[in-house]
Protein backbone atom coordinates (compact mmCIF):
# COMPACT_ATOMS: atom_id res chain seq x y z
CA UNK A 1 0.00 0.00 0.00
CA UNK A 2 1.28 3.47 -0.82
CA UNK A 3 2.17 5.34 2.37
CA UNK A 4 -0.27 8.16 3.14
CA UNK A 5 0.98 11.40 4.58
CA UNK A 6 -0.75 13.92 6.79
CA UNK A 7 -2.22 17.04 5.26
CA UNK A 8 0.36 19.78 4.49
CA UNK A 9 -0.39 21.78 7.62
CA UNK A 10 -1.05 19.00 10.10
CA UNK A 11 1.94 19.98 12.23
CA UNK A 12 0.40 23.35 12.93
CA UNK A 13 -2.60 21.84 14.71
CA UNK A 14 -3.37 22.82 18.27
CA UNK A 15 -2.20 20.41 20.92
CA UNK A 16 -5.12 18.56 22.48
CA UNK A 17 -4.05 19.74 25.92
CA UNK A 18 -3.27 23.40 26.35
CA UNK A 19 0.29 24.10 27.47
CA UNK A 20 0.71 26.10 30.69
CA UNK A 21 -2.02 28.64 31.73
CA UNK A 22 -3.04 26.46 34.70
CA UNK A 23 -2.96 29.34 37.20
CA UNK A 24 -5.12 31.47 34.90
CA UNK A 25 -7.57 28.60 34.33
CA UNK A 26 -7.89 28.16 38.10
CA UNK A 27 -8.93 31.81 38.48
CA UNK A 28 -11.51 31.49 35.71
CA UNK A 29 -12.88 28.31 37.26
CA UNK A 30 -13.30 30.12 40.58
CA UNK A 31 -15.20 32.93 38.83
CA UNK A 32 -17.50 30.54 36.95
CA UNK A 33 -18.35 28.40 39.96
CA UNK A 34 -18.55 31.22 42.52
CA UNK A 35 -21.39 30.85 45.01
CA UNK A 36 -21.27 34.40 46.36
CA UNK A 37 -23.33 37.31 45.01
CA UNK A 38 -20.42 39.14 43.38
CA UNK A 39 -20.44 39.90 39.66
CA UNK A 40 -17.20 38.48 38.28
CA UNK A 41 -15.66 40.32 35.34
CA UNK A 42 -12.59 38.61 33.91
CA UNK A 43 -10.24 40.43 31.53
CA UNK A 44 -8.13 38.11 29.36
CA UNK A 45 -5.69 40.26 27.47
CA UNK A 46 -2.37 39.98 25.68
CA UNK A 47 -0.72 40.90 22.38
CA UNK A 48 -1.63 38.92 19.25
CA UNK A 49 -0.62 35.30 18.87
CA UNK A 50 -0.55 34.58 22.60
CA UNK A 51 -3.45 32.15 22.55
CA UNK A 52 -6.39 34.14 23.96
CA UNK A 53 -8.91 32.37 21.77
CA UNK A 54 -7.28 29.00 22.49
CA UNK A 55 -7.61 29.82 26.19
CA UNK A 56 -11.32 30.63 25.78
CA UNK A 57 -11.89 27.42 23.82
CA UNK A 58 -10.22 25.45 26.62
CA UNK A 59 -12.68 26.99 29.09
CA UNK A 60 -15.60 26.01 26.87
CA UNK A 61 -14.24 22.46 26.53
CA UNK A 62 -13.94 22.13 30.30
CA UNK A 63 -17.49 23.39 30.83
CA UNK A 64 -18.94 20.90 28.36
CA UNK A 65 -19.65 23.08 25.33
CA UNK A 66 -20.77 20.76 22.49
CA UNK A 67 -18.35 22.33 19.98
CA UNK A 68 -15.32 21.72 22.21
CA UNK A 69 -16.55 19.10 24.66
CA UNK A 70 -14.19 16.72 26.43
CA UNK A 71 -16.52 15.18 29.07
CA UNK A 72 -13.85 13.01 30.69
CA UNK A 73 -11.56 15.97 31.34
CA UNK A 74 -14.37 18.26 32.46
CA UNK A 75 -15.61 15.72 35.00
CA UNK A 76 -12.16 14.82 36.30
CA UNK A 77 -10.95 18.40 36.65
CA UNK A 78 -13.99 19.68 38.52
CA UNK A 79 -15.48 22.11 36.02
CA UNK A 80 -18.84 20.40 35.66
CA UNK A 81 -21.33 21.46 38.30
CA UNK A 82 -24.51 19.86 37.01
CA UNK A 83 -26.84 22.51 35.59
CA UNK A 84 -25.67 25.14 38.06
CA UNK A 85 -23.74 27.10 35.43
CA UNK A 86 -24.87 28.25 31.99
CA UNK A 87 -22.07 29.26 29.63
CA UNK A 88 -22.63 31.05 26.32
CA UNK A 89 -20.96 30.22 23.02
CA UNK A 90 -17.72 31.96 22.14
CA UNK A 91 -19.08 35.26 20.83
CA UNK A 92 -16.50 36.94 18.58
CA UNK A 93 -17.24 40.63 18.13
CA UNK A 94 -14.95 40.92 15.14
CA UNK A 95 -18.35 40.44 13.45
CA UNK A 96 -19.33 44.11 13.13
CA UNK A 97 -23.03 43.22 13.15
CA UNK A 98 -22.58 42.37 16.84
CA UNK A 99 -21.48 45.95 17.57
CA UNK A 100 -25.18 46.80 17.51
CA UNK A 101 -26.75 46.09 20.91
CA UNK A 102 -29.86 44.38 19.56
CA UNK A 103 -27.85 41.99 17.36
CA UNK A 104 -25.49 41.25 20.24
CA UNK A 105 -28.35 40.50 22.65
CA UNK A 106 -29.96 38.23 20.07
CA UNK A 107 -26.68 36.35 19.66
CA UNK A 108 -26.41 36.00 23.45
CA UNK A 109 -29.98 34.78 23.67
CA UNK A 110 -29.40 32.15 20.96
CA UNK A 111 -26.22 30.84 22.57
CA UNK A 112 -27.77 30.63 26.05
CA UNK A 113 -30.82 28.85 24.59
CA UNK A 114 -28.60 26.16 23.08
CA UNK A 115 -30.53 23.05 21.87
CA UNK A 116 -30.83 20.51 24.66
CA UNK A 117 -30.49 23.07 27.44
CA UNK A 118 -33.59 23.34 29.60
CA UNK A 119 -34.79 26.06 31.95
CA UNK A 120 -33.27 29.00 30.07
CA UNK A 121 -36.15 30.75 28.36
CA UNK A 122 -36.74 34.24 26.98
CA UNK A 123 -40.41 34.12 25.97
CA UNK A 124 -41.23 37.74 26.85
CA UNK A 125 -38.02 39.00 25.26
CA UNK A 126 -38.83 37.05 22.09
CA UNK A 127 -42.25 38.70 21.90
CA UNK A 128 -40.75 42.15 22.45
CA UNK A 129 -38.07 41.48 19.84
CA UNK A 130 -40.64 40.35 17.28
CA UNK A 131 -42.69 43.47 17.98
CA UNK A 132 -39.63 45.65 17.37
CA UNK A 133 -38.88 43.84 14.12
CA UNK A 134 -42.50 44.20 13.04
CA UNK A 135 -42.42 47.95 13.61
CA UNK A 136 -39.20 48.27 11.61
CA UNK A 137 -40.62 46.15 8.77
CA UNK A 138 -43.73 48.34 8.58
CA UNK A 139 -41.66 51.51 8.38
CA UNK A 140 -42.67 52.89 11.79
CA UNK A 141 -41.11 56.11 13.05
CA UNK A 142 -37.57 55.78 14.34
CA UNK A 143 -38.58 56.82 17.86
CA UNK A 144 -41.13 53.98 18.00
CA UNK A 145 -38.61 51.39 16.81
CA UNK A 146 -36.00 52.67 19.27
CA UNK A 147 -38.46 52.49 22.16
CA UNK A 148 -39.44 48.94 21.18
CA UNK A 149 -35.77 47.94 20.95
CA UNK A 150 -35.13 49.34 24.43
CA UNK A 151 -38.13 47.43 25.75
CA UNK A 152 -36.74 44.20 24.26
CA UNK A 153 -33.30 44.84 25.80
CA UNK A 154 -34.86 45.50 29.21
CA UNK A 155 -36.98 42.34 28.94
CA UNK A 156 -33.90 40.28 28.09
CA UNK A 157 -32.22 41.40 31.33
CA UNK A 158 -35.36 40.74 33.37
CA UNK A 159 -35.67 37.19 32.11
CA UNK A 160 -31.93 36.69 32.53
CA UNK A 161 -32.30 37.62 36.21
CA UNK A 162 -35.00 34.96 36.56
CA UNK A 163 -32.49 32.35 35.40
CA UNK A 164 -29.76 33.62 37.73
CA UNK A 165 -31.93 32.94 40.77
CA UNK A 166 -30.99 29.27 40.43
CA UNK A 167 -28.04 29.20 38.00
CA UNK A 168 -24.94 31.26 37.34
CA UNK A 169 -24.55 32.56 33.79
CA UNK A 170 -21.31 33.28 31.95
CA UNK A 171 -20.89 35.38 28.80
CA UNK A 172 -17.79 34.52 26.75
CA UNK A 173 -16.80 37.43 24.48
CA UNK A 174 -13.71 37.53 22.25
CA UNK A 175 -11.85 40.24 20.29
CA UNK A 176 -13.28 43.04 22.45
CA UNK A 177 -10.72 45.53 21.10
CA UNK A 178 -13.09 45.77 18.12
CA UNK A 179 -15.70 47.44 20.38
CA UNK A 180 -14.60 51.05 20.17
CA UNK A 181 -15.63 53.77 22.62
CA UNK A 182 -13.56 56.45 20.93
CA UNK A 183 -15.93 57.31 18.05
CA UNK A 184 -18.99 57.38 20.32
CA UNK A 185 -17.33 59.71 22.82
CA UNK A 186 -16.17 62.07 20.06
CA UNK A 187 -19.73 62.28 18.69
CA UNK A 188 -21.26 62.74 22.16
CA UNK A 189 -18.85 65.56 23.01
CA UNK A 190 -19.91 67.44 19.87
CA UNK A 191 -23.65 66.84 20.39
CA UNK A 192 -23.75 64.80 17.19
CA UNK A 193 -25.03 61.79 19.13
CA UNK A 194 -27.47 61.62 22.03
CA UNK A 195 -26.73 59.37 25.04
CA UNK A 196 -29.73 57.20 24.17
CA UNK A 197 -28.31 56.75 20.66
CA UNK A 198 -24.98 55.57 22.03
CA UNK A 199 -26.76 53.03 24.21
CA UNK A 200 -27.71 51.18 21.03
CA UNK A 201 -24.06 50.18 20.65
CA UNK A 202 -22.83 47.01 22.35
CA UNK A 203 -19.85 48.55 24.14
CA UNK A 204 -21.97 51.36 25.62
CA UNK A 205 -24.72 48.95 26.64
CA UNK A 206 -22.21 46.72 28.45
CA UNK A 207 -20.77 49.70 30.33
CA UNK A 208 -24.25 50.96 31.22
CA UNK A 209 -25.55 47.67 32.62
CA UNK A 210 -22.37 47.30 34.67
CA UNK A 211 -22.77 50.84 35.96
CA UNK A 212 -26.44 50.25 36.77
CA UNK A 213 -25.85 46.93 38.56
CA UNK A 214 -27.80 44.81 36.07
CA UNK A 215 -25.50 41.77 36.05
CA UNK A 216 -26.25 39.97 39.32
CA UNK A 217 -25.38 36.29 39.07
CA UNK A 218 -23.45 36.77 35.83
CA UNK A 219 -19.76 36.30 34.99
CA UNK A 220 -18.22 38.14 32.03
CA UNK A 221 -15.16 36.76 30.24
CA UNK A 222 -13.79 39.55 28.04
CA UNK A 223 -10.80 38.69 25.83
CA UNK A 224 -8.86 41.04 23.59
CA UNK A 225 -5.57 42.63 22.70
CA UNK A 226 -4.23 44.64 25.60
CA UNK A 227 -2.87 47.66 23.75
CA UNK A 228 -5.49 47.96 21.01
CA UNK A 229 -8.28 47.25 23.50
CA UNK A 230 -7.02 49.57 26.24
CA UNK A 231 -9.89 52.04 25.75
CA UNK A 232 -12.48 49.26 26.07
CA UNK A 233 -10.91 47.80 29.21
CA UNK A 234 -10.51 51.26 30.78
CA UNK A 235 -14.16 52.09 30.19
CA UNK A 236 -15.32 48.81 31.72
CA UNK A 237 -13.11 49.49 34.76
CA UNK A 238 -14.57 52.99 34.97
CA UNK A 239 -18.11 51.57 34.88
CA UNK A 240 -17.22 49.19 37.74
CA UNK A 241 -15.89 52.09 39.83
CA UNK A 242 -19.02 54.16 39.16
CA UNK A 243 -21.24 51.23 40.18
CA UNK A 244 -19.63 50.71 43.56
CA UNK A 245 -22.02 53.06 45.29
CA UNK A 246 -24.92 50.70 44.53
CA UNK A 247 -25.92 47.33 45.91
CA UNK A 248 -24.20 45.23 43.23
CA UNK A 249 -20.67 44.19 44.14
CA UNK A 250 -17.98 43.36 41.60
CA UNK A 251 -14.85 41.23 41.49
CA UNK A 252 -12.45 42.18 38.68
CA UNK A 253 -9.93 39.52 37.64
CA UNK A 254 -7.29 40.82 35.22
CA UNK A 255 -5.44 38.01 33.43
CA UNK A 256 -2.56 38.97 31.16
CA UNK A 257 -1.38 35.95 29.19
CA UNK A 258 2.40 35.69 28.99
CA UNK A 259 4.62 33.98 26.38
CA UNK A 260 5.97 30.53 27.13
CA UNK A 261 9.27 30.40 28.98
CA UNK A 262 12.07 28.03 27.95
CA UNK A 263 10.70 25.10 29.92
CA UNK A 264 7.16 25.57 28.57
CA UNK A 265 8.58 25.71 25.03
CA UNK A 266 10.19 22.31 25.66
CA UNK A 267 6.88 20.97 27.01
CA UNK A 268 5.07 22.21 23.90
CA UNK A 269 7.30 20.19 21.58
CA UNK A 270 7.16 17.16 23.88
CA UNK A 271 3.36 17.32 23.67
CA UNK A 272 3.53 17.56 19.87
CA UNK A 273 5.80 14.50 19.84
CA UNK A 274 3.37 12.50 21.97
CA UNK A 275 0.36 13.42 19.86
CA UNK A 276 2.11 12.69 16.57
CA UNK A 277 3.34 9.36 17.89
CA UNK A 278 -0.03 8.21 19.19
CA UNK A 279 -2.53 10.15 17.13
CA UNK A 280 -3.27 7.74 14.27
CA UNK A 281 -4.35 4.11 14.10
CA UNK A 282 -3.63 3.59 10.38
CA UNK A 283 -0.37 1.65 10.07
CA UNK A 284 0.21 3.16 6.63
CA UNK A 285 0.64 6.54 8.26
CA UNK A 286 2.40 5.43 11.43
CA UNK A 287 5.99 5.31 10.18
CA UNK A 288 5.87 8.83 8.77
CA UNK A 289 4.25 10.16 11.93
CA UNK A 290 6.89 8.42 14.04
CA UNK A 291 9.63 10.21 12.11
CA UNK A 292 7.98 13.57 12.72
CA UNK A 293 7.40 12.72 16.39
CA UNK A 294 11.09 11.93 16.70
CA UNK A 295 11.99 15.36 15.32
CA UNK A 296 9.77 17.06 17.90
CA UNK A 297 11.12 14.83 20.66
CA UNK A 298 14.66 15.80 19.72
CA UNK A 299 13.75 19.49 19.92
CA UNK A 300 12.11 19.02 23.32
CA UNK A 301 15.00 17.20 24.99
CA UNK A 302 16.32 19.13 27.96
CA UNK A 303 19.91 18.15 27.15
CA UNK A 304 19.82 19.87 23.77
CA UNK A 305 19.70 23.44 22.49
CA UNK A 306 16.93 23.26 19.89
CA UNK A 307 14.02 24.31 22.13
CA UNK A 308 16.12 27.17 23.51
CA UNK A 309 16.87 28.41 19.99
CA UNK A 310 13.19 28.22 19.06
CA UNK A 311 12.22 30.01 22.27
CA UNK A 312 14.66 32.81 21.36
CA UNK A 313 13.35 33.12 17.80
CA UNK A 314 9.64 32.91 18.66
CA UNK A 315 9.65 34.79 21.95
CA UNK A 316 7.64 31.85 23.30
CA UNK A 317 4.54 33.13 21.48
CA UNK A 318 2.32 30.06 20.88
CA UNK A 319 1.17 30.83 17.35
CA UNK A 320 4.77 31.46 16.24
CA UNK A 321 5.88 28.20 17.83
CA UNK A 322 3.24 26.42 15.74
CA UNK A 323 4.51 28.12 12.60
CA UNK A 324 8.12 27.19 13.30
CA UNK A 325 7.02 23.61 14.03
CA UNK A 326 5.44 23.64 10.58
CA UNK A 327 8.69 24.75 8.99
CA UNK A 328 10.61 21.97 10.69
CA UNK A 329 8.25 19.31 9.36
CA UNK A 330 7.58 20.72 5.89
CA UNK A 331 11.00 21.88 4.68
CA UNK A 332 13.37 19.31 3.23
CA UNK A 333 16.23 21.52 4.33
CA UNK A 334 15.88 22.93 7.83
CA UNK A 335 16.75 26.66 7.81
CA UNK A 336 20.31 27.12 8.98
CA UNK A 337 19.25 29.39 11.83
CA UNK A 338 17.19 26.57 13.36
CA UNK A 339 20.22 24.25 13.41
CA UNK A 340 22.50 26.58 15.33
CA UNK A 341 23.54 25.96 18.92
CA UNK A 342 22.00 28.31 21.46
CA UNK A 343 25.40 29.93 22.01
CA UNK A 344 25.72 30.71 18.32
CA UNK A 345 22.06 31.75 18.01
CA UNK A 346 22.46 34.19 20.88
CA UNK A 347 25.71 35.52 19.41
CA UNK A 348 24.14 36.04 15.96
CA UNK A 349 21.07 37.69 17.50
CA UNK A 350 23.21 39.69 19.93
CA UNK A 351 20.84 38.71 22.73
CA UNK A 352 20.07 35.57 24.74
CA UNK A 353 16.49 36.57 25.55
CA UNK A 354 13.53 37.43 23.30
CA UNK A 355 12.60 40.09 25.85
CA UNK A 356 15.74 41.99 24.82
CA UNK A 357 14.93 42.64 21.17
CA UNK A 358 17.82 43.59 18.88
CA UNK A 359 17.88 44.46 15.16
CA UNK A 360 19.80 41.24 14.56
CA UNK A 361 17.12 39.12 16.26
CA UNK A 362 14.39 40.83 14.24
CA UNK A 363 16.30 40.13 11.01
CA UNK A 364 16.67 36.42 11.81
CA UNK A 365 12.98 36.18 12.68
CA UNK A 366 12.07 37.92 9.43
CA UNK A 367 14.12 35.47 7.33
CA UNK A 368 12.47 32.42 8.90
CA UNK A 369 9.00 33.98 8.64
CA UNK A 370 9.67 34.58 4.94
CA UNK A 371 10.23 30.84 4.48
CA UNK A 372 6.94 30.16 6.22
CA UNK A 373 5.08 32.62 4.00
CA UNK A 374 6.56 30.91 0.93
CA UNK A 375 5.40 27.54 2.25
CA UNK A 376 1.92 28.69 3.18
CA UNK A 377 0.78 31.27 0.65
CA UNK A 378 3.03 31.63 -2.39
CA UNK A 379 2.33 28.44 -4.37
CA UNK A 380 -0.88 26.83 -3.12
CA UNK A 381 -1.77 23.53 -4.72
CA UNK A 382 -4.09 21.46 -2.53
CA UNK A 383 -7.51 22.73 -1.45
CA UNK A 384 -6.46 23.46 2.13
CA UNK A 385 -3.59 25.66 0.96
CA UNK A 386 -5.83 27.54 -1.47
CA UNK A 387 -8.34 28.18 1.32
CA UNK A 388 -5.58 29.55 3.54
CA UNK A 389 -4.48 31.86 0.73
CA UNK A 390 -8.01 33.26 0.57
CA UNK A 391 -8.34 33.60 4.35
CA UNK A 392 -5.15 35.64 4.63
CA UNK A 393 -6.84 38.31 2.49
CA UNK A 394 -10.09 38.35 4.49
CA UNK A 395 -9.57 39.14 8.19
CA UNK A 396 -13.27 38.82 9.01
CA UNK A 397 -13.37 35.25 7.75
CA UNK A 398 -15.13 33.28 5.04
CA UNK A 399 -17.76 30.56 4.78
CA UNK A 400 -17.52 27.48 2.54
CA UNK A 401 -19.99 29.04 0.12
CA UNK A 402 -17.92 32.24 -0.18
CA UNK A 403 -14.76 30.17 -0.72
CA UNK A 404 -16.53 28.08 -3.39
CA UNK A 405 -17.61 31.28 -5.15
CA UNK A 406 -14.06 32.68 -5.21
CA UNK A 407 -12.31 29.43 -6.17
CA UNK A 408 -14.81 28.10 -8.69
CA UNK A 409 -16.18 31.04 -10.63
CA UNK A 410 -13.94 31.26 -13.71
CA UNK A 411 -16.48 33.32 -15.63
CA UNK A 412 -16.57 35.90 -12.81
CA UNK A 413 -20.34 35.76 -12.56
CA UNK A 414 -22.16 38.02 -10.12
CA UNK A 415 -23.34 36.22 -6.96
CA UNK A 416 -26.99 36.34 -8.04
CA UNK A 417 -26.14 34.60 -11.35
CA UNK A 418 -23.77 31.99 -9.91
CA UNK A 419 -24.97 28.55 -8.81
CA UNK A 420 -22.95 26.39 -6.39
CA UNK A 421 -21.95 22.84 -7.22
CA UNK A 422 -23.34 20.98 -4.22
CA UNK A 423 -20.72 18.20 -4.28
CA UNK A 424 -17.90 20.73 -4.47
CA UNK A 425 -19.56 22.82 -1.76
CA UNK A 426 -19.80 19.77 0.50
CA UNK A 427 -16.08 19.04 -0.01
CA UNK A 428 -15.09 22.62 0.83
CA UNK A 429 -17.33 22.62 3.91
CA UNK A 430 -15.75 19.36 5.11
CA UNK A 431 -12.26 20.75 4.50
CA UNK A 432 -13.09 23.93 6.39
CA UNK A 433 -14.41 21.89 9.33
CA UNK A 434 -11.24 19.81 9.27
CA UNK A 435 -9.10 22.96 9.52
CA UNK A 436 -10.71 24.22 12.71
CA UNK A 437 -7.95 22.77 14.90
CA UNK A 438 -5.11 24.37 12.97
CA UNK A 439 -3.30 26.73 15.32
CA UNK A 440 -3.16 29.40 12.64
CA UNK A 441 -6.93 29.56 12.06
CA UNK A 442 -9.61 31.09 14.21
CA UNK A 443 -13.36 30.54 14.22
CA UNK A 444 -15.34 33.59 13.20
CA UNK A 445 -18.87 34.34 14.34
CA UNK A 446 -21.43 31.98 12.86
CA UNK A 447 -24.01 33.39 10.50
CA UNK A 448 -26.59 31.04 12.02
CA UNK A 449 -29.18 33.82 12.11
CA UNK A 450 -29.37 33.56 8.30
CA UNK A 451 -30.15 29.83 8.46
CA UNK A 452 -33.96 30.23 8.09
CA UNK A 453 -33.55 31.79 4.63
CA UNK A 454 -30.92 29.30 3.38
CA UNK A 455 -31.74 25.91 1.86
CA UNK A 456 -31.18 23.23 4.50
CA UNK A 457 -28.58 21.38 2.43
CA UNK A 458 -26.47 24.56 2.21
CA UNK A 459 -26.91 25.91 5.74
CA UNK A 460 -23.64 24.72 7.26
CA UNK A 461 -21.70 25.81 4.18
CA UNK A 462 -23.15 29.30 4.64
CA UNK A 463 -23.12 29.75 8.42
CA UNK A 464 -19.81 28.17 9.56
CA UNK A 465 -16.89 30.58 9.04
CA UNK A 466 -13.14 30.62 9.64
CA UNK A 467 -10.47 33.31 9.62
CA UNK A 468 -6.80 33.35 10.64
CA UNK A 469 -5.06 34.31 13.85
CA UNK A 470 -4.19 38.01 14.02
CA UNK A 471 -0.47 37.23 14.21
CA UNK A 472 -0.66 35.50 10.81
CA UNK A 473 -2.07 38.67 9.26
CA UNK A 474 0.77 40.62 10.87
CA UNK A 475 3.43 38.26 9.49
CA UNK A 476 1.85 38.25 6.02
CA UNK A 477 1.64 42.06 5.95
CA UNK A 478 5.34 42.30 6.86
CA UNK A 479 6.36 40.14 3.91
pLDDT for the residue numbered 64:
82
Domain stops at, among 331, 356, 378: 378
Does 154 fall in a domain? no
Domain extent, residue 388, equals 383-473
Does 7 fall in a domain? no
Domain stops at, among 378, 412, 445: 378
365 and 440 both lie in a single domain: no
> How many Cβ atoms from other residues are within 10 Å of residue 362's Cβ?
11
pLDDT for the residue numbered 452:
56
340 and 229 both lie in a single domain: no
Q: How far is CA 202 from the centre of its chain?
A: 19
Between CA 14 and CA 437 the distance in angstroms is 6
Between CA 88 and CA 117 the distance in angstroms is 11
Does 15 fall in a domain? no
Query: Which residue pairs, CB below 8 angstroms and at least 24 apart, start in 384-391?
Result: 384/7, 384/8, 384/9, 384/431, 384/434, 384/435, 385/8, 385/9, 387/428, 387/431, 387/432, 387/435, 388/9, 388/440, 388/441, 388/468, 391/441, 391/466, 391/467, 391/468
Domain stops at, among 256, 282, 313: 256
pLDDT for the residue numbered 437:
80
Does 478 fall in a domain? no
Does 458 fall in a domain? yes
Q: SS3 string of 274-319? A: HHHHHCCCCHHHHHHHHHHHHHHHHHHCCCCCHHHHHHHHHCCCHH
pLDDT for the residue numbered 184:
60
99 and 67 both lie in a single domain: yes
Does 203 fall in a domain? yes
Structural domains of the chain, count? 3
Between CA 118 and CA 110 the distance in angstroms is 13
pLDDT for the residue numbered 5:
45
362 and 407 both lie in a single domain: no
Does 8 fall in a domain? no
pLDDT for the residue numbered 4:
42
266 and 415 both lie in a single domain: no
pLDDT for the residue numbered 211:
92
311 and 457 both lie in a single domain: no
pLDDT tens series, the chain, 479 aa: 333 444 555 566 778 788 889 999 999 999 998 888 889 999 999 998 898 988 998 999 888 888 777 655 665 566 766 667 899 999 999 888 899 999 999 999 999 988 778 889 999 999 999 999 999 999 999 889 999 999 999 999 999 999 998 889 999 999 999 987 665 666 666 666 666 666 788 999 999 999 999 998 899 999 999 999 999 999 999 999 998 667 778 999 999 999 999 999 999 999 988 888 875 555 555 677 788 888 889 899 988 899 999 999 999 999 889 888 877 776 556 778 888 999 999 999 999 999 999 999 999 999 888 887 887 777 667 888 889 889 988 888 899 999 999 999 988 889 889 988 889 998 999 998 888 888 888 887 666 665 554 556 666 677 788 988 888 888 888 88
Q: What is the pTM of this model?
A: 0.87
Amino acid sequence: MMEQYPTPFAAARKTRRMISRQAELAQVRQALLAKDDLVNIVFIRSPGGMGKTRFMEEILALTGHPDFVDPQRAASEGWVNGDAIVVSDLIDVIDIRLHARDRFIRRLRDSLRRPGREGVDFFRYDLAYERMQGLAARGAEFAQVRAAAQEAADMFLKELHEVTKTRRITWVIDTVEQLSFITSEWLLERDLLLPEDANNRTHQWLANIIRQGELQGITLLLAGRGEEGSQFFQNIQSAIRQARGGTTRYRLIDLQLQPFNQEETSVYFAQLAEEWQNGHQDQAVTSHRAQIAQQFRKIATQSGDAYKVLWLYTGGIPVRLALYAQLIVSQRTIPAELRWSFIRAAAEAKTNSPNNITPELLQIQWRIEEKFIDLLFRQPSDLESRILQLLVRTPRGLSAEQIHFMLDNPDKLAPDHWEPNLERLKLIAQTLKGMVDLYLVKRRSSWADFAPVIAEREQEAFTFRLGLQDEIYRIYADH
